[in-house]
Chains A and B, each alone.
Chain A
Amino acid sequence: MSSKPRDGDAGRARIVVVLALAMAQWPALAADDAYCTSASGRYRVSYTSELEPLAINRIHSWVLHVESVDGDPVTGAAIEIGGGMPEHDHGLATSPRATEELGGGDYLIEGLRFHMPGRWEIVVDLRVGADRDRCTLSLAL
Chain B
Amino acid sequence: MRRHWPAALAVLVLAAVAAWWLPSVVPPAPWSSAELALLRALSLVSLPSVPPDPTNAVADDPRAAAFGEALFFDTRLSANGEVACATCHQPERRFTDGLPKGRAIGTSARNTHSIVGSAYSPWFYWDGRKDSLWSQALSPLEDPNEQGSDRMAVARLVARDRAYRDAYTALFGALPDFSDAHRFPVSAAPLGAGTADSAWHAMAPADRESVTRVFVDVGKAIAAYERTLLPSPSRFDRYVDAVLAGDARAQAELFTASEARGLRLFIGEAGCLQCHNGPLLTNNEFHNTGILSYPGEVPDQGRIDGLRTVRRDPFNCLGEYSDDAGRVCPELAFARDGVELIGAMRTPSLRNLDGTAPYMHKGQLSTLAEVLDHYNRAPLAMIGHNETKPLGLSRRELGQLEDFLETLAAPVAAPSAGDGAAVGFGR
**Contact between chains at B274 and A88 (CB < 8 Å):** yes
Could you say which residues of chain A place their CB within 8 Å of the CB of B334?
59, 94-97, 110-111, 113
- CB contact between B38 and one of A57, A88, A117 (< 8 Å): that residue: A117
Report whether A59 and B338 are in contact in the complex, using a CB–CB cutoff of 8 Å.
no
Chain A proximity mask over B266-299: 1 for CB below 8 Å, otherwise 0: 0000000111011000011100000000000000
Q: Which residues of A contact B387 (CB under 8 A)?
A: 88, 90
Least CB distance from B271 to A in Å reads 9
If A57-B278, A91-B338 touch, does A110 touch B333 (CB 8 Å cutoff)? Answer: yes
Contact B283 A91 (CB under 8 A): no
Contact A94:B284 (CB < 8 A) given known A110-B330, A116-B275, A117-B277: no
Check: B22 CB closer than 8 A to any chain A CB: no
* The residue from B38, B274, B330 contacting A111, defined by CB atoms under 8 A apart: B330
List the B side residues contacting A56 at CB < 8 Å.
277-278, 283
B336–A95 CB distance below 8 A: yes
By a CB distance below 8 angstroms, the chain B residues around A91 are 336, 338, 340
CA distance A55 to B337 in the complex (A): 23
Contact A116 B277 (CB under 8 A): yes
- What is the chain A residue whose CB lies nearest that of B333? A111
Say yes or no: is A92 at the interface (Cβ < 8 Å to chain B).
Answer: yes
In the assembled complex, the Cα of A116 lies from the Cα of B340 at a distance in Å of: 16
Question: Smallest distance from the beta carbon of A3 to chain B beta carbons, Å?
Answer: 41
Question: Scoring B residues 322 to 335 as 1 if CB is less than 8 Å from chain A, else 0, what string do you get?
Answer: 00000000110111
Question: Which A-chain residue is minimally distant from B121 (CB atoms)?
Answer: A57
Q: Which of A88, A93, A96, A117 contacts B285 (CB 8 A)?
A: A93
A115 at the interface (CB under 8 A from B): yes
Check B122 for interface membership: any CB of A closer than 8 A.
yes
Asked if residues B330 and A90 are in contact (CB atoms below 8 Å), the reply is: no
Give 1 or 0 for each of B27-70: 1 = CB within 8 Å of chain A CB: 00000000000100100000000000000000000000000000
Taken together as a complex, chains A and B put the C-alpha atoms of A115 and B282 apart, in Å, by 9
Cα of A124 to Cα of B335 in the assembled complex, Å: 19
B335 contacts A94, C-beta separation under 8 Å: yes
Within 48-64 of A, Cβ neighbours of B (below 8 Å) are at: 56-57, 59
Q: Which residues of chain B are near A110, meaning CB under 8 Å?
A: 330, 333-334
Partner of A93, one of B38, B41, B278, B336: B336
Distance A94 CA – B333 CA, assembled complex (angstroms): 9
Complex CA–CA separation, A92 to B335 (angstroms): 10
Interface residue from B274, B335, B336 paired with A116 (Cβ < 8 Å) = B274
Complexed CA–CA distance, A88 and B389 (Å) = 10
Inter-chain CA distance A110–B273, complex, in Å, is 25
Nearest chain A CB to B157 CB, angstrom units: 37
B residues 93-137 near A (Cβ < 8 Å) are 122
B341 to nearest A CB, angstroms? Answer: 11
Chain B nearest Cβ from A50, distance in angstroms: 11
Q: Please indicate the chain B residues that have their CB under 8 angstroms from the CB of A111 in the complex.
A: 330, 333-334
Of residues 62 through 95 on chain A, the ones whose CB sits less than 8 Å from some CB of chain B are: 88, 90-95
Distance, CA A53 to CA B286, complexed state (A) = 25
- B275 CB to nearest A CB, Å: 7
CB-CB nearest in chain A for B122 = A59
Interface residues of B (CB under 8 A from A): 38, 41, 122, 273-275, 277-278, 283-285, 330-331, 333-338, 340, 387
What are 8 A-B pairs at a CB distance below 8 A?
Answer: A57-B278, A59-B122, A91-B336, A97-B334, A113-B334, A115-B283, A116-B273, A117-B41
Known: A93-B285, A93-B336, A110-B333. 5 other contacts (CB 8 A): A56-B277, A57-B284, A59-B122, A115-B277, A115-B283
Task: List the 7 closest A-B pairs by CB distance, nearest first.
Answer: A111-B334, A115-B283, A94-B334, A115-B285, A95-B336, A59-B330, A116-B274
